[in-house]
Every structure is written in C-alpha cells, then in structure tokens.
Amino acid sequence: MVDTWIALLSTGVGSGITGFFTWLFTRKQYEEGVNAQKVQNFDAAIEAYKKMYEDMIGDLKGQVGDLKEENDSLKAELSETRKQVITLTNFVLASAMQRADGNMNPETFNKLKAIIE
C-alpha cells in the first residue's frame, strides 16, 4: 500500500513539476503570440485607414473636378447674361434717345450716349 501511495505521490509531484515548467515556458510564447496578434491588428487597421484615405482623396478629386466644371459653366452663363443685359440696356437707351421730344437737356443726352458707347 505504501508503494501505491509513493507511486501516486511521485506521479502527482512529477505532473505538478511538469505542469509548472510547461506553464512557465508557454506563458512567454503565449505573450509573444498575443503581441504578434496586436501588431497584426494594428497593421490591418493602418491598411484600412490608408484605403479609406485614398478612397476619400479620389472622391474629393472627383468632386473638385465636378465643381470646376460647374463653376466654368456658371461663369459662361453669367458672361452671356451680362451681354444680354448690356444689349437690352443699350436698346432701351437708344429707344429713349430716339423718342426724346426735344425737352431732354444736352447733358442727359450725352450721358445716355456715353453709356451706349
């Protein structure tokens, strides 16, 4: 019976010592694995942010191009509107000068004439 207890005790002590050393050596390996995973996750996050940044830059460049086209179109439309306003103003002033009944003083007549020119 004593031999059985010694065998059980030596097996238990041996298992305990083996378990302790296994834990001692695998703990460092586990920590290194966790740190490697953290680095991998960080690298993946950086790549995701880079892709998001590049996509955002591409979208913004497209929007800038669209805004430039719209701005050029609006400038052309404004220029055309100005030409029409000048033409209409000249027409109205010329009509007013032709219909003048002679009571228009020369200074006013000359101002209208200068505007038309």
DSSP symbols for 41-65:
HHHHHHHHHHHHHHHHHHHHHHHHH
Domain range enclosing 98: 2-116
Number of domains observed in the structure of the chain: 1
- Give how far Cα 67 sits from Cα of 54, 60, 62, 74, Å: 20, 10, 9, 10
pLDDT for 114 beyond 80: no
Q: Give start and end residues of each alpha helix (H) in the chain.
A: 2-99, 106-116
Query: Which is more confidently placed, 71 or 101?
Result: 71
Write down the pTM of the prediction.
Answer: 0.49
